[in-house]
Amino acid sequence: MAMAAVAANPSATAEDPEPHREAVPGLESQRRQIENGESGRERPLRAGESWFLVEQHWYRQWEVYVQGGEQDSSTFPGCINNAKLFEDQINWCLKKGLVEGEDYVLLPSAAWHFLVGWYGLEQGQPPIERKVVELRGTRKVEVYPVELLLVPHRDMGTPHSAQFSQIDSIDLVLRTAREKFLVRPEKETRLWVKNSQGSFERLCNTRVTVLDAALKSGQLVVMETRSKDGTWPSAQPQAGNKASKEDEDFQGQPGICGLTNLGNTCFMNSALQCLSNVPQLTEYFLKNRYLEELNFCNPLGMKGEIAEAYADLVKQAWSGHHRSIVPQVFKTKVGHFASQFLGYQQHDSQELLSFLLDGLHEDLNRVKKKEYVELCDAAGRPDHEVAQEAWQNHKRRNDSVIVDTFHGLFKSTLVCPDCGNVSVTFDPFCYLSVPLPVSHKRVMEVFFVSMDPRRKPEQHRLVVPKKGKISDLCVALAKHTGVSPERMMVADVFSHRFYKIYQLEESLSSILDRDDIFIYEVSGRSAICENSREDVVLPIYLRERTPARDYNNSYYGLMLFGHPLLVSVPRDRLSWDSLYHILLYRLSRYVTRPSSDDEDDGDEKDPPVTASPILADMAAKDSIPKPGHVAGGSSQNPGPEQAGPSSGVAGGSRAPVNNSPGPSHWPQRARRKHLFTLQTVNSNGTSDRSNFNEDTHGVSSSSQPYIAIDWEPEMKKRYYNEVEAEGYVKHDCVGYVLKKAPVRLRECIELFTTMETLEKENPWFCPSCKQHQLATKKLDLWKLPETLIIHLKRFSYTRFSREKLDTLVEFPIRDLDFSEFVKPQNESAPELYKYDLIAVSNHYGGLRDGHYTTFACNKDSGQWHYFDDNSVSPVTENQIESKAAYVLFYQRQDVARRAKPQPDLSDPPAPPACGQPPNSEFMDVN
C-alpha cells in the first residue's frame, strides 16, 4: 500500500475522530494499553503492519499526565499535535533528519487509534502512518519512504510527487500513476525510470518491489501509454512520426498487415503471420492476459523479452492502422537469444517457429519454480492411468498459453527384439513432423560420350533406383544408346580434370545432383595382367602453353582447358607415335588436320615422335591405376578410373574399328608438322614427370598414366575449334518429366504412425536385457491440442545428398478427421478429432535459395489472404493447396468457432491490393 504523502487530504483524517471520541478509561488503564500488551508500543515489529509517528514532546507530556494519576491535572496534554514534525502546514512534508526518541515516538496502529479516540488529533493535521519493512532480515519502521516523481510520457515537464514504501510493488507505482493521469482501464501502460546517467530504463517486472528495482527518492518515473495503432511512442523514431500519424489515420481490417523483409527474413515473416492468425493465441495478447503471466525469473526463458516483442507485433498488426510493419525489434531480440538467427542468412520457417513457440512458452510459464519430476515407465499399468500421470507431470513443470493451445501427447511403444520386453511411455509434443512418402526412383542427368568421334556428346535424363549402384546407371543408359553397360566407364568431371572414376559396384548415393557425370564408351575395361591383349584406357587432359611472367621469358605456364578424355588404346600400340595419331583421330570432330600447304620439312621446335613402346614398363609392372580413387586425394598413383571435376564432354576412343578411317590409313611422311605434344602428368594434370625421357624405351613404373595434350597458343587458335568442342545434343529423354503422383495428408500421418526399427546410431537400452537393442518403435496420437501444427518434412538430408521433395500433398481445408489415429477414441465427442485449416507456411524454390509466404484465414472476417512479406492480397480456398505447402495450422472444431460466414468457393476473390499469389511452379527467390 502506498505511503500516501502526508500531504493527503487532512480534513478527512484529522477532523473525523473528534465527533467519535471514545469513553476515556482510567489513567493507569490508558498507560497499560499504550505501553504494554499486544497493542502497546513495546510489542515486536511485524513486517507489513502500520505504525504511527507521535511528536516526542506531546508523548512525554502524556506520560507525565497518566503517571500523575489526576485526570483534571494541569499536565493534561490536549489533542495530539505533530506540528513540529512537518516542514510546513501546506504540503505536510516530514522534516528531514528526525530521530526516534528525540523528535518522535512510534506507536502501533491499535495504540495510535486509542490515543486519537481519547484525545483527538489537531485539526487539519494528517496522521503520519508508516509501514514496517523487513530488509536483509531486519524489521524496521520505514519513516522516510521513497519519493518518486511521476510524469506521463506525453508531458514530462510537470512531475507529480508520490511516496512509496520500499516493499511496495512496481505494479502499485504503475496503478498510482494511472490514477493520477486518468488513464482509461482498457489502455496499456508501462514505466520507465531515469537512471543516474540520464538514460531511461524499462521497469519490465511490475511484481518486484521498489527496493528490488533499486528506486531512490527523487528519481523520475515516466508512464508511457500504447498508441491506438499498437506502437509505443518511445519506439517511434523522430523521422517516422509523420508516417506514424498517417498510419493512425489509416483504418483497415485488423490482422491484414504485411511484414517488411529486412533481408532474407521471409522465413520469419511467414512463421509470424501463421502464428498471428491462431485466434486464441492472438486474443490472449490483444486482451493483455499475457501481462499477468510474464515470467521474468525463468532460467530457461528470455526474461519476458520475446513475449513482449511478439505482443508488440500482434498489437500493431491487429490494430487496423498499418498496411505493413517493420519487425526490426523482434528480429534483434530473436538474434540476441538464438545466435543461429543472427545476420541475414536464409533459414527455415519451421525452425524459427519451433524456437518462437518454446521461447513464448518459457516467457509465459505460470510455473515459477520447476520441481523435479521423475519419469515412470508404464510397468504394466493401464494406458489411461500412465497417460494421465505423464500429462500431469508435464503440467507441473510446463503451464502456459502455449501448452494450452499447441501441446498434445504421444504414446510411444518400444519392443525389444531379443527378450520381447515392451516399454510404453507418453511424451508431450508441440507439432507433428510428418514424413512424405518418398519415391524409390531417382532422376539423374548424364552426358554420354560415344567412341565415334563424329558424334557429339549426348545429354540423357535417366531414371534409376535411389539406392542403386553405378551399374544400374549404365544399364539405364544402355536402353537409350544400345551400347552394352560393359563398355561404359562413369566419371565425375570438374574443372577440366577427372575428379573420380567410379567402379560398377559403388553406390549411386555418392553422386550428388550437382555433379557433372560423364559416361564414356570404351572398348573394354583396363587390363592389369601382363601380356594381356585387352585395351588400356588412358585419361587424357588438354593444356595450353601460356608465357609466364618471367624475366628471361624461358618458362611457360600450362593451363587446363576443354574436356578430359578417356581413350581406349590397344596394348600393342602403346607408342608415342601411335598415341599421337589415335588422339588426332579422336579429336577429329573439332581439331583440323594440317593441309598439305601447312606441311613443311619439319620444325626445330617440334620434338620427333618416335615409335618407342610408351607405357610398356608400366603395364608390365602392374602400375595401371585402379578405379575408385579421387584425383589428388591419395598417396597412391591415381589411375584412369579416377574421375575428375569438369564441365566438359570428352570423347573416349580406341583404335579405329570396322572401316572407319583411322591413323593407319592416313598418308605418312617422314617429317610432319605436329599440332601438339604429349606429356605424362600427375592426376591433377598440373605437373610433368621430370624423369620421363622420350628417347628411352618407355616410362618408369612410378609414372602416373595420365597423358596431357599440350598446345601452343598459335596452333590451338589455328586448328582447335572451341565452339565445336563444347557442342552437345539432347536426347529425347531430356524432355521427359518424371511425374510425381500427389499424396494425401492422411498418407503422411499413416507413415508417421507406422512401426519402424531404430537405426544403429540410435539404439534403445532395454532394461530387461541390460543391452542396447535395435528395438521396434511405434508412435500413436493420444491427446490432440486445440491447434495442431503439421510440419511436412520436405527437406531430406543424407550423408551424400540433400534434396527438397516437391511432391504435392493434398490436405483438406475443413473436417480433417484424426479419429482413426487417436487411441483411445471418445465416440461421444467426435468434434475432438476434427480440425479446420487456418494457416499455411509455403516454401518456393530449392535448398540453396527459396522464398517463404503464408496463406491465413482472418479470425474476424473469415476471409483467406496471401501474405508475401509486406504485400497482402485476398484469395479463395481453392488457391491454397500447392506443392509449396510446408507447415499447416489446423484448429480443432470444438474450440470457439470464428464468428464469420464460410466463404463461397465459387465467389471470385476481391481485387488484390498488392498482387496475386504466385504460381508455385514459377517463383522469384531471395
The Cα 456–Cα 474 span in angstroms is: 19
DSSP state of 55: E
Element holding 810 (H helix, E strand): strand 809-810
Write out the three cell numbers for 139: 524489521
Looking up cell 465459387, which residue turns up?
Answer: 906
CA dihedral of residues 301, 302, 303, 305 (deg, nearest 10)? -140
Q: Phi first, then psi: what are they for 346, rounded to 5°?
A: -75, 140
* β-pair type (809-810, 743-744): parallel
Question: Which SS3 state, helix, strand or coil, does residue 258 take?
Answer: strand
DSSP string across 279-341: HHHHHHHHTTGGGGT--SS-TTS-TTHHHHHHHHHHHHHTSS--SEE--HHHHHHHHHH-GGG
The Cα 42–Cα 50 span in angstroms is: 15
Q: How many residues does the chain have?
A: 926
The Cα 221–Cα 192 span in angstroms is: 6
Half-sphere exposure of 73 (CA within 13 A, CB side): 15
DSSP string across 590-619: TBPPPPTTT--S--TTSPP-----TTHHHH
Q: Measured between alpha carbons, how far is residue 475 from residues 464, 478, 516, 886 in Å?
A: 9, 5, 19, 36
DSSP state of 63: H
Half-sphere exposure of 517 (CA within 13 A, CB side): 23
Nearest CA-CA partner of 766 in 369, 422, 351:
422
Residue 589 CA, chain-centre distance (Å), reads 53
- Type of residue numbered 431: Y
Decide: 603 and 673 in contact? Cβ < 8 Å. Answer: yes
Q: Measured between alpha carbons, how far is residue 347 from residues 182, 255, 344, 686, 796 in Å?
A: 46, 25, 9, 40, 15
Q: Phi first, then psi: what are they for 402, rounded to 5°?
A: -70, -40
Q: Where are the alpha helices (DSSP H) in 364-424?
A: 383-397, 401-406
Q: Phi first, then psi: what are they for 588, rounded to 5°?
A: -65, -20
- Beta bridge pairs of residue 708: 541, 679
Neighbours of 522 (CB within 10 A): 22
Write out the three cell numbers for 712: 601452343
Looking up cell 618407342, which residue turns up?
Answer: 612
Write out the three cell numbers for 893: 472444431
Looking up cell 602392374, which residue turns up?
Answer: 622
DSSP string across 436-447: PPPPSEEEEEEE
**Catalytic site residues?**
266, 851
* Biggest distance spanned by C-alpha atoms of the chain: 155
Question: Which SS3 state, helix, strand or coil, does residue 618 take?
Answer: helix
- Type of residue numbered 844: Y
The Cα 582–Cα 794 span in angstroms is: 50
Q: Angle at CA 861, nearest 5°, toward 855 and 866? A: 20
Neighbours of 20 (CB within 10 A): 9
